[in-house]
Structure 1
Amino acid sequence: MATIKDIAQAAGVSLATVSRVINNGPKVGDKTRARIKEIMKEMGYRPNANARALVTQRNPSLGVVLAELADPFFATLAYGIEKVARQKDIQVLLSSGSIQVETELKAIETLLEHRCEAMIVHSKALDDETLIDFASQVPGFVLINRYIEQIADRCVWLDNYSGGATMARHLLSLGHKKFVMVSSHYQIDDPSERLRGIKDELKNAGIELPDSAIEYSTPDQEGGEIAMQNLLAKGHDFTAVLSYNDAMAAGAMSMLLDHGVEIPQQISVMGFDDVLLSRYCRPKLTTLRYPIEMMAVKAAEVALNRARTNGKNKSLEDTFKYTPTIVKRESVTHAADSK
């Protein structure tokens, strides 16, 4: 069965343009609209009637699209949303996007088919234009962990740049000057913004973080192990490891311990997220707290409020930006040569 993505590729237009044609939206020329409709007919695409009826029909349900379902980070996010929904006796419909364009699009379409007027979407693969278009269709459409200026009042997001800078600043304050980083291989804003913050803070201190000192892998424990193994194989001289998240930090610590490295006496390791895992690492992980449950609660409140008022009752807040904070535990100490 043809999808919106198939239609967009065949017509040489964006997903948002196809979405506007399906929903009889503006900003599409007559020739383009006619060509897209002809392609839809040729490919046998049938827009779902429930999705088209979304703006006129109401249903007490809250749709949620997450990147992963098993990851502890997203489990915490889902818990925060479900807590609000339970208090308001609202049904939650959950779907996974897997950080892939087609999967994220299908997940949102599925929720549209169920006529969810409130929707919280964690999207990293879809382009801004497509998400802006969905926001114009769905009264309670809210993005979490992403910022798009045109729909800023629909975005609940974390300042990842500030988080990266805070990581670097903390380690610099403890005398560290030699760094490596294990980072996510996903081409999304989160790792790139954290890395940008780290590099800028180190540069301000007169320290460069070369590309060879950064290893990219899957953002899980196995990925952290592999990344650290590669860094060790390169023979880098370092006293501190900056990690994209807690899972990668745990994997990196495991690899260091397997090589007889004492943490933090020889090497300090710092994570990001403050998921449950960080409290049960040995040593316990120093990290940055990502207030994801708090953000999830806010996203649910905003989405349900907008859906209830058909998008007319906007929050008085200018932004829903959150900032990570340091949680000091046992995996970080002064650099050995600075004591």
Structure 2
Amino acid sequence: MATIKDVAKLSGVSVATVSRVINKSPKASKASIESVTKAMRELGYRPNANARALVSQSTNTVGVVVGDVSDPFFGVMLKAVDKVARQHNKHMLIGNGFHEAKTEREAIELLINSRCESLIIHSKGLSNQELIDFADEVPGMVVINRYIPQIANRCIALDNHKGSYLATEYLIKHGHTRIGYISSTYDIEDTQQRRAGYIDALVANGIEVDENFIEYGTPDEEGGEKAMTNLLSKNLDMTAIATYNDYMAAGCLSIMDENGIASPQDVSVIGFDDGIIAKYLSPKLTTVRYPINIMAEQAAQLSVQLAKGEKSNEYPRMFVPTLVRRRSVLAK
């Protein structure tokens, strides 16, 4: 494998000159640029990214930590971040956190060690203090889908409680009072906030909260199937169900279909997120829109600005979810 010394020898210049050409220094002459470029091409030499970073103090990379890259929700988020990164001639490095403190910590440290000056972090496992410490270390770090008061100006979050409240209230306004809730088993703030939104909407409308109407599962189709199966086994007189997300709603609808329960005629169902799957279910799913693409774009823009030491624009830090009305909810 060719080295920088081989390039210098073939092009007839010093190693320092080769370095200046590689790092696009204004001190590099036209002649040296041409000779070095030719030598690099002939030798098949590729400049080491970390070596360039030592000179430029930048790798032109944006680091992103997500829960699980295989989750379509995070796919939308990553696509939005990548769009902004490309606008700034930067590339994206990705780490999976899986909502676990140890894994999230390792992913963030790896990105920092890779000299990512911009970081967009989706973390549910780490404590507020540890994220604050990382933010102190990396000026271009932004936290998405989480609100930490001490670094509020670097957080882009969603009002999960409001979204779940809206979903439950929508069912109540359609005459439903016996409303089940399918919740996630993940011990993260999203789970707590959305469950609280469901409960608070019931209380605000004078409906008694019955824990029998709440079941849990992993936040995917299988979890939705399991939770719905458990709800049906209790033989509850439910007319509607609110769910933690659209994938759990899909699992819920599948079990209903297997048991001859029609939606929305027999039981109305409402989701959360407005993911790609929502409009392709049968019936098309009424849900709460989580504007992750817009949030991710703004998080990336903010991160790049902060990394450059620029004053950030006044982005809306706390987004408010909205209802998307389709065909899975019917008035009782």
With the length of structure 1 as denominator, give the TM-score of the two structures. 0.80
Identify the residue that residue 47 of structure 2 maps to in structure 1: none
User: 2:320 pairs with 302, 314, 323, which one?
Assistant: 323
CA RMSD, 1 decimal: 1.5
Identify the residue that residue 118 of structure 2 maps to in structure 1: 118
Q: How does 1:147-186 map to 2 (within 5 A)?
A: 147-186=147-186
Identify the residue that residue 331 of structure 2 maps to in structure 1: 334
Does the CA-based 8 Å contact 1:269-1:286 persist in structure 2?
A: yes
The yes-or-no answer on 1:194 pairing with 2:194 is yes
* Range that drifts further, 187-196 or 284-293: 187-196
Q: How does 1:166-315 map to 2 (within 5 A)?
A: 166-309=166-309, 313-315=311-313
1:279-333: per-residue Cα shift (whole Å, max 9, x none)? 1101110000100000000000000000011xx523334x511011011111111
Does the CA-based 8 Å contact 1:225-1:248 persist in structure 2?
A: yes
Unaligned runs of 5+ residues in structure 1 are 1-49
Does the CA-based 8 Å contact 2:62-2:117 persist in structure 1?
A: yes
Identify the residue that residue 70 of structure 1 maps to in structure 2: 70
Secondary structure in 2 aligned to 1:294? helix
Does the CA-based 8 Å contact 1:140-1:304 persist in structure 2?
A: yes
Amino acid at match of 1:258: E
What's the offset of the Cα at 1:210? Answer: 1.7
Distance 1:65 1:159 in 2: 21
Amino acid at match of 2:265: Q
Amino acid at match of 2:195: L
Distance 2:210 2:124 in 1: 26
Larger Rg: 2
Amino acid at match of 1:296: A
Secondary structure in 1 aligned to 2:263? coil
Does the CA-based 8 Å contact 1:64-1:95 persist in structure 2?
A: yes
Does the CA-based 8 Å contact 1:165-1:198 persist in structure 2?
A: yes
Identify the residue that residue 31 of structure 1 maps to in structure 2: none
Distance 1:187 1:113 in 2: 29
Distance 2:59 2:308 in 1: 10
The yes-or-no answer on 1:129 pairing with 2:126 is no
- Count of residues paired in the alignment: 280
Distance 2:212 2:111 in 1: 43
Deviation beyond 6 Å, 4+ runs, structure 1: none
Amino acid at match of 2:88: K
Does the CA-based 8 Å contact 2:244-2:271 persist in structure 1?
A: yes
* Range that drifts further, 209-218 or 119-128: 209-218
Secondary structure in 1 aligned to 2:327? coil
With the length of structure 2 as denominator, give the TM-score of the two structures. 0.82
Unaligned runs of 5+ residues in structure 2 are 1-49
Does the CA-based 8 Å contact 2:181-2:198 persist in structure 1?
A: no
Does the CA-based 8 Å contact 1:180-1:209 persist in structure 2?
A: no
Does the CA-based 8 Å contact 1:179-1:209 persist in structure 2?
A: no
Identity of aligned pairs, percent?
A: 45
The yes-or-no answer on 1:89 pairing with 2:86 is no
